[in-house]
Amino acid sequence: MPEPAELERRTVDLLRRLIQFDTVNPPGREEAAQRHLAELLSGAGFECELLAAAPGRPNLIARLRGPSDGPSLCYLGHVDTVLADAGDWSVDPWSAELRDGFVYGRGAIDMKGQVAAEIAAVTALADEGWRPESGELLVVVTADEEAGATHGAKWLCEEHPEKVRCDLVVNEGGGDSFGTNGKRLFGVEVAEKGVFRFALRTTGRAGHASIPKIADNALAKLAPIVEAMTSRRAELDRSPEADALIEALGFDPSDLARALQEIESRDPRVALLLEPTLGVTFAPTMIRASEKINVIPARAELRVDCRVPPGLGEGHARRRLAEVVGEGGYEVEFAEPVIGNRSPSEGPLMDLVREFIEREEPGAQVVPLMLPGFTDSRWFREAFPSCIAYGFMPRREIDMFEAAALMHAVDERASVADLTLGARFFAELAPKVLA
């Protein structure tokens, strides 16, 4: 097993190099970073392949085979990032500055840090001569995750499923820890909400803006709808993941509204992250009406980011929308609906996660979580129904609340101690699964 100091060196060095590749998506430009990773993995004995749906935007598939049949374990990640405005940062977002035990840079948490930990772990193992005793280890690093995975995991799973078929996936989305009410919890992301973004439209009658009452202002009809979406909450939906978290916090999930209220009174930070997992959410984000300032609009459109619990679809979203804003007076058009999905929260992979945490943090509890958003795991669950996909990169120095505030934000950074902890987890997991 690689020494912690060696894993730290490899992980930090690799993360700093990855941050220095500008892979802001759009446009992405992931090729240089992917070729760098392929070179590292090839040098450690992996069979590597780059597959691209768009020029300059390849996905990396690296494979280390065992001598006999067995499970296929996939370490999954992506190298594209969101934009960073350098003027807002205290450091250059692409300098990968190492300061006071932290690596600064865009993607440090989302998710070049985990990619670095995964690849540092597997190359260190392979360089020491380790090979799977059975099955195979896959490392899949995708492009385009931040813009919907059209050229990344979605494309791979739909167009090249034979290349990425696997039994177990470890990806982003979980592993953050938090302390509350005397407890320390580590979350494992086992489920993800679906995305049902929609356009809500109202109609009226155009007129000259100098005589407001001569017209019927379609834009004004959106005002109470926006207000309702930001001030009212749809009926809550129970789920196994939310129930498990509420019980771990010491409350009764049979009455979600009461449990949420009690959790909020004790620790508002936990309630803030729990509430979006308890049902359908509506976030109005864009609005469009008149093309001229002196014309009262006859038509207005509101764009809404809507997230729906796993397994539920458009019909459920429409019912919850009616609860919040009422019925009639508008029309709704959903665009590119994505149904959320989940993996079983109990099994050998979860047992191995618990075993690692119990040794590292005695007394801490591992709890399955639902992610309010979604990651590339959902494409693997959809393509391979028997696949178990978890989000897990253990972190304890930067807790869940700080990580949520740093993701996509100014001065994004990863703790060297957490990077090393993650690399140790990945280095220990593969030999146990592929024994």
Determine the pLDDT at residue 423: 98
Contact 186, 394 (CB under 8 A): yes
Which of 289, 314, 334 marks a domain boundary?
334
151 in any annotated domain: yes
SS (H, E, C) 186-225: EEEEEEECEECCEEEEEECECEECCCHHHCECCCHHHHHH
89 plus 136 within the same structural domain: yes
140: Cα within 13 Å, side-chain hemisphere: 31
The pLDDT score that the predictor gives to residue 125 is 98
Mean pLDDT of 180-200: 95
- The whole-number pLDDT of residue 299 equals 98
CA atoms within 13 A on the CB side of 409: 8
Mean pLDDT (whole number) for 19-27: 98
Percentage of the chain lying above the pLDDT 70 cut: 100
Q: Read off the CATH number of the domain in which 395 is found.
A: 3.40.630.10
Structural Rg of the chain based on CA atoms: 23
Q: Does residue 268 form part of some domain?
A: no
pLDDT, tens digit (0-9, with 9 covering 90-100), for 404-429 = 999 999 999 999 999 999 999 999 99
pLDDT computed for residue 336 by the predictor:
82
Strand partners of residue 391: 171, 189
Let me know whether 305 and 381 are in one domain.
Answer: no
pLDDT for residue 411: 98
- Is residue 374's pLDDT more than 90? no
72 and 202 share one domain: no
Q: What is the pLDDT of residue 181?
A: 85
pLDDT surpasses 90 at 234:
yes
Per-residue pLDDT at 149: 95
Quote the CA–CA distance of 146 and 327 in Å, as a whole number. 34
d(CA 124, CA 216): 68
Same domain, 12 and 157: yes
User: Are residues 97 and 215 located together in one domain of the fold?
Assistant: no
CA distance 66 to 408: 38
| Kind and range of the H or E run holding 377 | helix 377-383
State the pLDDT at residue 315.
97
- Whether residues 367 and 352 fall in one domain: yes
CA 31, chain centre distance (Å): 22
Amino acid 205: pLDDT = 98
Q: Look at residue 249 and tell me if it is in a domain.
A: no
Q: Report the SS3 class of residue 123.
A: helix
Co-location of 119 and 222 in the same domain: no
> How much is the mean pLDDT over the chain?
97
Q: Beta partners for 183?
A: 180
Domain count, the chain: 2
Mean pLDDT, rounded, for 210-231: 97
* Same domain assignment for residues 52 and 169: yes
Q: Are 62 and 141 in the same domain? A: yes
- The predicted model gives 42-50 an average pLDDT of 98
**How far is it, in rounded angstroms, from Cα 408 to Cα 389?**
23
Q: pLDDT > 90: what percent of the chain?
A: 98
CATH of the domain at 232: 3.30.70.360
Q: What would the pLDDT profile of 146-183 be if each residue is shown by its tens digit?
A: 999 999 999 999 999 999 999 999 999 999 999 998 89
β-partners of residue 216 are 205
pLDDT tens per residue, range 131-145: 999 999 999 999 999
- CA 144 from chain center: how many Å? 13
Domain-located, residue 389: yes
> Quick check: is 274 in a domain?
no
One-letter amino acid identity for 336? E
Domain span at residue 373 reads: 4-180+340-433
Is residue 149 in some structural domain?
A: yes
Band (pLDDT 50/70/90 cuts) for residue 195 is very high
Tell me, yes or no, whether 315 and 396 share the same domain: no
Please indicate, yes or no, whether residues 363 and 401 belong to a single structural domain of this protein: yes
Judge if 402 and 294 occupy the same domain.
Answer: no
